[in-house]
Chain A
Amino acid sequence: MIVAEQKPLDEIKGLIAEAEKVLVLGCGTCVTVCFAGGEKEAGILATSLRMASKIDGQPKDVTHTTVQRQCEWEYLDAVADQIREADIVVSVGCGIGVQAVVERFPEVWVVPGLNTSFMGLPTEQGVWEERCAACGSCILGLTGGICPIARCAKQLLNGPCGGSQNGVCEISKELPCAWQLIYDRLKSQNRLHLITQIQPPKDWSKSRDGGPRRITREDLRLAAEASE
């Protein structure tokens, strides 16, 4: 899932300072699961903004609503009236959600309520850890299902490095060495031969180095005559 966390309230107050009618727009997918921007969090933020604006002597009309997925325009259309009626929309979806609202409603001023952090999973209740860097060229099949791009500080393809001490990365005592994890996993599965293969330099053109990425599936696109 996409993991995010709410911006400090003062920062959000600054973003909406000029507006009187504010809509806090939640998202019912990833940010709901990571407790950053779902229905409950949108309600908490809207309530906090109402209270803060009253205390500051400039009460704002702050409401909130949540759609199933902000990153699909069809779901946004269901709350189009609420979006258009607001002076400003505080999206507590991920960065994709913010931009989806902007692209669908270009006339509306939209600001982010969250800092989108990473793609990861909850390792325990209340703890999320990064697992994927969306590098565009997955090598998990060679590394025992442990990603060195997301989990190794140096993104090494042939690790570990000299900074790995007793299974811990040199950058933090809290951070396990990804390549130690890979070694242990491959050893437990009798697949250590995989770690002896020297990996060539990674093709980063499929990652951010290649600019914004786009995937097109012609078989899924609507025929031109049908979409008209």
Chain B
Amino acid sequence: MESFVTAFDTTVDDALFWLSDHAAFVFDGIRALLEGLYDGILWLLMLPPFWVVAVISGLIGWRVLGTGFGVVGALGLIACAAMGLWPETMSTLALVVAATAIALAVGLPLGVLAGLIPRLDGALTPALDLIQTLPPYIYLLPAIALMGYGPATALIATVIVAMPPAIRLTSLGIRQTRTEFLELGDAVGASRAQMFFKIRLPFAVPSIMAGINQSLMMAFGMVVIAGIVGSGGLGETIYSAIRTLDIATSINASIAIVVLTMLLDRMTQAAARTK
């Protein structure tokens, strides 16, 4: 028994050493790429002063959800800044945006393919089931083993968690196109590309938007958890505040997280509804 556990642990350590000796350039490359994406988005978000971002968010909120939401949203973001958590709030947002962007870049095409090819859908479903069954916390393990501390690890774990809803709901949307409309397309002699872009895709848009909203929310949950691996942002603020039992800071950071989450969730949901 003892020997099995020791053997397991040494094998894992050896394998990781071997990987870091022989494949370091691969992981360093991925790491540099991910951190570059994250830094770029963060740079863009930090470029204007906080009140410009708040006013722009307020305007978007006003357009999609009405005056009340716009005002509350803008005030919420200004409150984040007034609590002295603006840089952390923006780096959390940058992580979420970067992770969701990667997840969608992979998930949407895969979802479209799965919607068109039933066999691919059948192969993907058990994998997606498994990913969604496991507690998100454990996805940090392989990421940290290969990438070490930092935002890149947080991004990888977050992408894994955020991808399944995008794939699932895109595939569902594509498959749900009503037969009459497909037949109509056939009858008027639509080409395959026309069939896809003019008939299937427009019908799938509500479902795809719902998938994007869910991906975003999963990404939020994970990015905050990833504070433990040094992701930066509000998650790390809360993690260190809890460890030092600094109640005031952890309350402030939680408020900032709630503000940011509600803002993004309501906005993307509203966008899904209006389409």
Partners in one complex: no
State the A residues within 8 Å of B (CB).
none
State the B residues within 8 Å of A (CB).
none
